[in-house]
Amino acid sequence: MTIRVFLVDDHPLFRAGVRLALEDVEDMEVVGEADSGEEAVQALVHERVRADVVLMDVQMPGSSGVSALPAITAAHHPGAEAPRVLMMSVTDDDDMVVAALRAGAHGYLLKGAPRTELIRAVRTVAGQGAVFSPTVAARLSGYFSAVHELPSRAAFPQLTERERQILDLIARGYTNRRIARELVLAEKTVRNHVSHVFAKLQVSDRATAVVRARDAGLGV
Domain spans in the chain, listed from the N-terminal domain onward: 3-133, 149-215
Domain 3-133 fold = Rossmann fold (3.40.50)
Give which of 40, 67, 36, 39 is closest to 54, Cα–Cα: 40
Q: What are phi and psi of 85, to 5 degrees?
A: -115, 125
Which tens digits make up the pLDDT trace of 71-121? Answer: 888 876 666 788 999 999 887 777 777 778 778 888 889 898 899 999 999
- b/e per residue, 129-153, with b = 16+ CB within 10 A? eebbbeebeebbebbeebeeeeeee
Question: pLDDT tens digits for 116-127?
Answer: 999 999 999 998
pTM above 0.85, yes or no: no
Domain 149-215 CATH class label = mainly alpha
